[in-house]
Structure 1
Amino acid sequence: MRPSPTGDPAGQPAGRTAGGSRGSRVKSPEQLVAESGGDLEGHGLRRTMGLFQLVCFGVGAIVGTGIFVGLSDSVAEAGPAVVVSFLLAAATCVVTAFAFAELGSAIPVSGSSYSFAYATLGEPTAFLVGWCLLLEYGVSVSAVAVGWGQYLNELLESLVGARLPEALSAPPGDGGVVNVPAVVVIGLAAVLLVRGVRESARATAVMAVVKIAVLVLFCAIAFTAFEAGNLAPFAAHGVAGITSGASIAFFSYIGFDAVTTAGEEVRDPRRNVPLAVLICIGAVTVLYCLVALAAVGALSADAVADQPAALSLIVNEVTGSSFGGGVIAFGAVVAIASVVLAVLYGQTRVLMSMSRDGLVPRIFERVSPRTATPVANTWIVAVVFAIPAAVVPLEVVLNLTTIGTLAVMAVVNVAVIALRRRYPRLEAGFRAPLFPFVPALGVLLCLYLMWGTGGRTWAQFAVFLVVGAVVYVLYGRRHSRLAGGRGDRVRGRGGPGA
């Protein structure tokens, strides 16, 4: 990085220490990178992923339950205007993706939003961001896994003419009692993750290619039965319906920021991380809009609304057989499994970063020397989030995940503004365009979609944040290694104040 007049490579203003002499407890980007092991290897993690694998990882984290299962819920709210809902959700993600791309290239470590907040807004905010990431990554694993059983049944029925008992495969509250397939898919993902990042990346790449091919096949089939009349009335439920539909559709995009959690395991992260973020969000947006348009054009919005395994239903109706629906179901089974894998990975890496800082117990930062993976961390996360996947209704999980993710994204847009002000000479492989207009727009769009989740979800989220604040005061603040002087020792290696 270019040296600044103050002697700080990050360009931090003189007199402001990474340790937060004014009580802010801020870590500089230099310090975060140094603690992660710099640009080489750190804490047992190995740089094994290239751009293609990272893009596949990102697509693997995004395309899953949201489009295969949640599409029908968005259609129920917005009607044929569901395409606009997907575009509105995509706009929120695109402007935020610029912020993630800049932050990911400037601070290429494994903590994603948590680390970005630590470098710009301070430790208390960073902890609450990490707490909210439990919703985006951890709880979304539960939400994604819940939908796996529905498509697994569709696949079994098309192959052998049998289904798993509804009590053991349907979402709790929707006919199910204990969702066994959800627990199974989380367990399988955990097994693959503890074997190694290289193996997980290869599996994710294969699954990403399969599910994109299946969605393209769906569009090809559904557009053969497209009828313009099915799009009228277009905005049957008005602007409120489009907004509510966008809040639900947003769940379909959750996961693109998981790319930034791989910052310590990617080759040339300052180039590849921002490229992967932007490629993923662009490709997925085009694909989702085509799928939504094909779905409501082939089968009216009323027929699609609130239908489980809607894409298989549409293909069966169009082709007049169950074979095509079976192919779609196979794609959904693969897609949802890959999302569980990618998002479970993201959660473990965030907890690893928080553990390094002392904000959560040290067991989460331990890496196996044999597999170079956080084995205990992975199994703890898998077990903890398999429980809500088995017994919590899908709607509750979806709404909490959505509002938590939107809150994190709003903070990330604020963080990129703070990054430019706090570290004006910091080198980054990407710069958000039209600064500061784009990140400010990102904050507003996130708040707008958060409003669309409803009052009950806001109340649940408020309780969640209060619990997080209590945990920080009682545990995180007392055990913070930055407060204990560890930050000063790291600064001596070239961070602020050196």
Structure 2
Amino acid sequence: MTPVARLFRTKPTERIVAEGGHGEGGELRRTMSLWQLTLFSVGATLGTGIFVILGQAVPKAGPAVVLSFVLAAFTALLSALSYAELAGTIPVSGSSYSYAYATMGELVAWVCGWCLMLEYAVSVAAVAVGWGGYLNAFLRSLAGVELPAAITASPGQDGGVVNLPAILIVALATWLLLHGASESARANAVFVLIKVAVLLFFCAVAFTAFRAGNLTPFAPLGLAGVTAAASQVFFSYIGFDAASTAGEEARNPRRDLPLAILLSLAVVTAVYVLVAVAAVGARPWTEFDPESTEASLSAIADEAAGATWPGLVVSFGAVVAIASVVLTVLYGQTRILFAMSRDGLVPRVFQRVDPRRQVPVANTLIVALFVSVLAGLVPLGQLAEATSIGTLFAFALVNVGVVVLRRRRPDLPRGFRVPFFPVTPVLGAVMCVVVMAGLAGVTWAAFGLWMAAGLACYFLYGFRRSRLNTEAA
């Protein structure tokens, strides 16, 4: 086999599924129900955009930011349908990395896995940074105290040295993950219920101050503004695919993974649109400050009620609930690295499973350390946009993967089939490219550097140590 052919050698679907759950030293345990899987995806998604990114998106689109959320949701739905089909066909921990390996070959799988590292590890860091802003808002409302900027801001921001609250929440999520998948799922369920309750409370308060005049002009910055905001708020939909990373710990993966992905996206979209309408109806869009967004929902709740206690409730809810995003997305990153390690593309330490806890302990600790450094030292805005472009690229590959696998292996059992094939996955890939085009040039430059680094890692390490290539030699 020529070197070029080895780069695009696919891994048989049956082999990927057969290897599921097995790691070095032990196996993962199948404990997650449909309810837990759905809440895992909701927990990974709901809160990131509304609690953190909404304030940055409104100045770009005005009241039409509501349409930006709908456009981003439509883009996410097209990819979610493709994820649902592949998750029901290849129910393993690798998510889109494993799907690409089965359809487009090892090099494309590596690129997809590298993008997932950007999606998962960097989004965890971005959310952790936002959590610190809400912690400060909560302490300010509760006791009139505020943590000093030196320990709550990134270097170069308002005298920041290191963001300690962001590091703290990553450490807490790591502690929960080390106790096992089922324990983490139970903790996440509590976090998600709190999060939904708080957001519904915010809507109830904000609608008391709703003014129809705040919605006119509806799209002051035109279609370009709506598209630009959609590119940014797409970050808030990152996470609906989290259930697909639990393929080797789900009780009935072929049935439950597709349902969990689609149910979670429906819940998240409904809540996002409702909160966005309440927010722009309660406060004129021109008063949203893109430079001070970490606790915008708390401020709107206080303004609407003419008191400080509603903002206190929202801030407390965010402090508790955003922890679920950190928990579930951190989980997803460890499981993707677990699958990549099993294929030999990253060091073997990432697939070692503790036989007593049945979790990849070393993997979890290494990822937590990396995320902590990002969360403590890198500003939120740069993290959010870099995450979006990596995610969109991975989503585009998943849409292409559905088409390829349908053509090559129409005989495979599928727990879910994308409707209106092939129009839906093709449109999904196109929409991902459209939204990517709306991101800033500096984000593309950062993505290019990230991909160059990834390709260097693959050719220096992964290509030579790949299990498929070793067997072929």
TM-score where L is the length of structure 1: 0.91
Q: 1:198 to 1:37 in 2, by over 3 A?
A: closer
1:201: which partner in 2? 185
Task: Write the letter of the residue equivalent to 1:453.
Answer: L
Report which stretch shifted further, 286-295 or 175-184: 175-184
CA offset digits 1:461-497 (Å, max 9, x no partner)? 1111111111111110000011112x89xxxxxxxxx
**Which one of 62, 66, 84 corresponds to residue 83 of structure 1?**
66
Contact 2:209-2:305 within 8 A present in 1 as well: no
SS across alignment from 2:425: helix
Task: Write the letter of the residue equivalent to 2:396.
Answer: A
**Which one of 294, 309, 313 corresponds to residue 327 of structure 1?**
313
Distance (Å, rounded) in 2 between the aligned partners of 1:201 and 1:340: 13
Within 5 Å, which residues of 2 pair with 1:456-495?
A: 456-485=442-471
Offset, 1:24: 2.3
Task: Write the letter of the residue equivalent to 2:210.
Answer: F
Distance (Å, rounded) in 1 between the aligned partners of 2:424 and 2:9: 27
User: Quick check: 1:235 aligned with 2:215?
Assistant: no
Contact 2:61-2:219 within 8 A present in 1 as well: yes
1:316: which partner in 2? 302
2:352: which partner in 1? 366
1:451: which partner in 2? 437
**Which one of 379, 402, 422 corresponds to residue 416 of structure 1?**
402
Offset, 1:65: 2.8
Offset, 1:20: 10
User: Quick check: 1:281 aligned with 2:240?
Assistant: no
Offset, 1:305: 3.7
Offset, 1:205: 0.5
2:56: which partner in 1? 73
**Which one of 141, 145, 170 corresponds to residue 162 of structure 1?**
145
**Which one of 56, 71, 77 corresponds to residue 39 of structure 2?**
56
SS across alignment from 1:92: helix
Distance (Å, rounded) in 1 between the aligned partners of 2:122 and 2:326: 11
Report which stretch shifted further, 74-83 or 156-165: 156-165
Contact 1:140-1:397 within 8 A present in 2 as well: yes
CA offset digits 1:343-379 (Å, max 9, x no partner)? 0000000000000000000000000011101100001
Distance (Å, rounded) in 2 between the aligned partners of 1:449 and 1:244: 8
Distance (Å, rounded) in 1 between the aligned partners of 2:182 and 2:288: 39
SS across alignment from 1:223: helix
Report which stretch shifted further, 454-463 or 300-309: 300-309
Distance (Å, rounded) in 1 between the aligned partners of 2:245 and 2:26: 15
Within 5 Å, which residues of 2 pair with 1:21-36?
A: 24-36=8-20
CA offset digits 1:112-158 (Å, max 9, x no partner)? 01000000000000001101111100111111101111100111122
Contact 2:21-2:92 within 8 A present in 1 as well: no
Offset, 1:173: 4.1
Task: Write the letter of the residue equivalent to 2:74.
Answer: A
Contact 1:63-1:335 within 8 A present in 2 as well: no
Distance (Å, rounded) in 2 between the aligned partners of 1:461 and 1:417: 26
Offset, 1:43: 4.5
SS across alignment from 2:31: coil
Distance (Å, rounded) in 2 between the aligned partners of 1:173 and 1:235: 34
Contact 2:297-2:311 within 8 A present in 1 as well: yes
Offset, 1:23: 5.5
1:494: which partner in 2? none
Offset, 1:177: 2.5
Distance (Å, rounded) in 2 between the aligned partners of 1:410 and 1:103: 13
Within 5 Å, which residues of 2 pair with 1:138-149?
A: 138-149=121-132
Offset, 1:398: 1.1
Task: Write the letter of the residue equivalent to 1:85.
Answer: S
User: Quick check: 1:213 aligned with 2:197?
Assistant: yes
2:421: which partner in 1? 435
CA offset digits 1:195-250 (Å, max 9, x no partner)? 11111000001100110111111111111111110011111111111111001110
Distance (Å, rounded) in 2 between the aligned partners of 1:343 and 1:318: 33
Report which stretch shifted further, 159-168 or 461-470: 159-168
Report which stretch shifted further, 178-187 or 60-69: 60-69
Offset, 1:170: 3.1
Offset, 1:22: 6.8
Distance (Å, rounded) in 1 between the aligned partners of 2:197 and 2:386: 30
Distance (Å, rounded) in 2 between the aligned partners of 1:430 and 1:333: 36
Contact 2:89-2:254 within 8 A present in 1 as well: yes
How many pairs does the alignment contain? 468
Report which stretch shifted further, 25-34 or 352-361: 25-34
Distance (Å, rounded) in 1 between the aligned partners of 2:67 and 2:426: 22
Q: Which runs of 5+ in 1 are unaligned?
A: 1-16, 489-498
Task: Write the letter of the residue equivalent to 1:105.
Answer: G
Contact 2:7-2:107 within 8 A present in 1 as well: no
Contact 1:295-1:304 within 8 A present in 2 as well: no
Q: CA RMSD in A?
A: 1.8
TM-score where L is the length of structure 2: 0.96
Contact 2:91-2:253 within 8 A present in 1 as well: yes
Task: Write the letter of the residue equivalent to 1:279.
Answer: L
Q: Which has the higher helix share?
A: 2
Offset, 1:28: 1.7
**Which one of 370, 377, 392 corresponds to residue 378 of structure 2?**
392
Offset, 1:64: 2.4
Q: 1:37 to 1:457 in 2, by over 3 A?
A: closer
Task: Write the letter of the residue equivalent to 2:389.
Answer: I
Task: Write the letter of the residue equivalent to 1:204.
Answer: N
Contact 2:8-2:108 within 8 A present in 1 as well: no
Distance (Å, rounded) in 1 between the aligned partners of 2:297 and 2:154: 18
CA offset digits 1:78-137 (Å, max 9, x no partner)? 111000100110001001000000000000000001000000000000001101111100
1:13: which partner in 2? none
